[in-house]
């Protein structure tokens, strides 16, 4: 998901004036003439002063030939340019809906630039008698940033109120997906995070990578300390326990709880009081539903009031059920092995339901338990042999986070 902005400078013209003695108000001949001091402006490493720049995005069904023809380029020149670019990128197929830029002198096209990826682009140069095509690459830099915020209503609103990116919210929720119930955040919860943001040609992309963080939830500090073990970096708390757990805290990314686990709830359709041994998550139809843990699908069917439902058997004598689905994910059937976080279906309102939601249930040894109170076993902690090295890093980062 990534949109690039193009920043063009606005140039100012300055004038120097002075008065001569004797009341003559002519310009002092000794003053440096600065009638028009203009800075060079570059785009895709092309000087664009006094040129017309038009930015656009490829629309559905458009191809490169059409872009050239619409810009006044004849078909012979177009074919010559495409022949040159064949070895760089296969642009003759249907174009992706990516940004492109046309640079004109008056009505004459000088350059057409197509961004075929976030970092790479094709330049079609028509400034010489023999047009040419070449590959360009944006300068990639990473800027370390720090952020902190206090929850007033939700993680999303806290991010928006503090001018932080949506990607940062998503990354933070993914790191803490096993330890913090983001549907149960309380006013006053807060976080401090250090992250890197990717820039292309000095323009922020919104792509961020969290380096380390602390999230205070219900008065408890939940640290995310990076440490390399077994060849890849994982996040651990300050005691060396993995932030990853056997089960995710919730089966949806973003939603709200509309009904809680209860032994006596009035059914919204049947209007009778009976147990509701699950948690209802209200979400739009089609919202992806994720399995909270590795396991095997043991049921996939339409089941009366539960509508389309999936049941998954997990380790440690746990099983989970996902009800009222609008449809099942492709490739998911009885006997399928699924991985934690895998999409298994989509929110719907099949069966007895007043609106689109997911009825999520957890069982331990066949007995229903409250998903919101389930304590998930952690995955492998920091190895004993690595603890001295981890301890040094953890102590340093905990102190740094505390100094914000």
Q: Please state, in angstroms and rounded to a whole number, the distance separating the CA atoms of residues 102 and 324.
A: 50
Residues of the chain with pLDDT under 50: 1-32, 34, 261, 264, 270
Architecture of domain 256-373 in this structure: Distorted Sandwich (2.70)
DSSP assignment letter at 378: B
Distance of CA 104 to the CA centre of its chain: 35
Q: Please state, in angstroms and rounded to a whole number, the distance separating the CA atoms of residues 81 and 133.
A: 6
Q: Which of 379, 318, 342 is nearest to 251 (CA)?
A: 342
* Residue 329 CB-half CA count within 13 A: 19
Helix (H), strand (E) at residue 66: helix 64-70
How do strand 273-276 and strand 279-282 relate by DSSP bridges? unpaired
What are the residue ranges of CATH 3.10.450.350 in the chain? 39-137, 141-236
Q: Cα–Cα distances in Å, from 263 out to 94, 179, 275, 276?
A: 57, 26, 4, 6
Q: Please state, in angstroms and rounded to a whole number, the distance separating the CA atoms of residues 193 and 235.
A: 13
Helix (H), strand (E) at residue 74: none
Q: Cα–Cα distances in Å, from 146 out to 28, 38, 210, 401?
A: 52, 36, 10, 10
Which residues on adjacent β-strands are paired with residue 335? Answer: none
Q: Locate tokens 């664009």: which residue? A: 48
CB 372 within 8 A of CB 360: no
CB 112 within 8 A of CB 68: yes
**What CATH number does the domain located at 141-236 have?**
3.10.450.350
Q: Please state, in angstroms and rounded to a whole number, the distance separating the CA atoms of residues 244 and 241.
A: 9
Q: Please state, in angstroms and rounded to a whole number, the distance separating the CA atoms of residues 331 and 352.
A: 26
What pTM does this model have?
0.59
Phi, psi of 71 (to 5 degrees): -95, 5
How do strand 108-114 and strand 132-137 relate by DSSP bridges? unpaired
End-to-end CA distance of the chain: 31
Compute the chain's Rg from CA coordinates.
Answer: 29
Two tokens at 195?
Answer: 């992250």
Q: What is the pLDDT of residue 28?
A: 43
Q: Which of 223, 240, 227, 228 is nearest to 180 (CA)?
A: 223
Q: Using one digit for the tens of pLDDT, what is the confidence trace for 338-381? A: 998 899 999 999 998 888 999 999 998 889 998 887 877 767 88
Two tokens at 271?
Answer: 């209007």
CB 113 within 8 A of CB 98: no
Two tokens at 119?
Answer: 């970092």
Q: What is the pLDDT of residue 190?
A: 93
Buried/exposed 30-67: b ≥16 CB within 10 Å, e otherwise:
eeeeeeeeeeebebbebebeeeebeeeebeeebebbeb
What are the residue ranges of CATH 2.70.70.10 in the chain? 256-373
Architecture of domain 39-137 in this structure: Roll (3.10)
Q: Please state, in angstroms and rounded to a whole number, the distance separating the CA atoms of residues 72 and 52.
A: 15
Give the contacts of 23 (CB within 8 A, at least 6 positions apart): none
């Amino acid at each position: 998901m990534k949109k690039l902005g193009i920043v063009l400078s606005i140039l100012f013209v300055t004038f120097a004036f002075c008065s001569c003695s004797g009341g003559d108000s002519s310009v002092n001949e000794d003053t440096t003439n600065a009638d028009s001091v203009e800075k060079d402006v570059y785009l895709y490493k092309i000087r664009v002063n006094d040129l017309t720049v038009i930015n656009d995005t490829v629309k559905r069904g458009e191809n490169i030939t059409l872009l050239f023809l619409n810009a006044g380029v004849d078909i012979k020149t177009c074919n010559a340019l495409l022949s040159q670019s064949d070895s760089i990128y296969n642009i003759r197929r249907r174009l992706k809906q990516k940004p492109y830029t046309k640079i004109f002198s008056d009505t004459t096209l000088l350059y057409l630039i197509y961004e075929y990826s976030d970092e790479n682009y094709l330049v079609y140069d028509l400034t010489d008698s023999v047009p040419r095509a070449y590959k360009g690459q944006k300068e990639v830099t990473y800027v370390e940033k720090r952020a902190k915020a206090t929850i007033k209503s939700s993680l999303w609103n806290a991010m928006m109120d503090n001018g932080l990116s949506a990607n940062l919210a998503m990354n933070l929720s993914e790191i803490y997906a096993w330890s913090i119930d983001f549907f149960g955040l309380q006013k006053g919860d807060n976080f401090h995070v250090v992250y890197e943001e990717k820039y292309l040609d000095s323009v922020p992309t919104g792509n961020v990578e969290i380096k380390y963080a602390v999230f205070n939830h219900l008065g408890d500090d939940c640290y995310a300390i990076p440490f390399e073990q077994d060849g890849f970096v994982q996040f651990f708390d300050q005691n060396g326990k993995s932030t990853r757990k056997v089960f995710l805290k919730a089966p949806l990314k973003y939603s709200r709880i509309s009904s809680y686990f209860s032994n006596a709830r009035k059914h919204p359709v049947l209007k009778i009081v009976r147990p509701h041994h699950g948690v209802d998550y209200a979400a739009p139809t089609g919202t992806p539903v994720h399995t909270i843990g590795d396991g095997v699908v043991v049921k996939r069917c339409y089941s009366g009031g539960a509508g389309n439902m999936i049941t998954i058997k997990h380790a440690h004598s746990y099983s989970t059920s996902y009800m009222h689905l609008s449809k099942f994910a492709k490739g998911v059937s009885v006997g399928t092995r699924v991985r934690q976080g895998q999409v298994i279906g989509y929110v719907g309102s099949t069966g007895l339901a007043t609106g689109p939601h997911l009825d999520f249930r957890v069982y331990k040894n066949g007995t229903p338990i409250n998903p919101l109170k389930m304590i998930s076993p952690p995955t492998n902690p920091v190895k004993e042999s690595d603890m001295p090295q981890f301890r040094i890093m953890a102590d340093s980062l905990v102190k740094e986070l505390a100094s914000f």
